Amino acid sequence: MIKETLNQIKEQTGLKLTLCSHFKGVREHNGKKYFNIVLNQRTSESKAYSILQKFSNKYNIIKIEPNGLKRVSIFINN
């Protein structure tokens, strides 16, 4: 599930995202499945985060939320 989602994001945006090594695997919050990635910059300053937001809004495949200074949660929409 994670690999498929990351591949879709890479194909559509060109972003190669790094999985978070601290919070590994698929997790669940309020019945929604998600996983975490780590950006090179803070989410507030990151171009990659902006690209992810646009991708999320356009295709509705994922939903993203900041989950720390550089960590982002990617919720998988079914």
Q: How many domains does the chain have?
A: 1
pTM, to two decimals: 0.91
What is the extent of the structural domain holding 58?
A: 2-76
Query: What digits encode the pLDDT tens for the residues 25-76?
Result: 999 999 999 999 999 999 999 999 999 999 999 999 999 999 999 999 999 9
Q: Does 77 score more than 90 pLDDT?
A: no
Q: How confident is the model at residue 78 (pLDDT cuts 50, 70, 90)?
A: low
Distance CA 43, CA 30 (A): 23
Instruction: Tokens for 77, please give them.
Output: 């929409």
| Amino acid 74: pLDDT | 97
Distance CA 34, CA 57 (A): 17
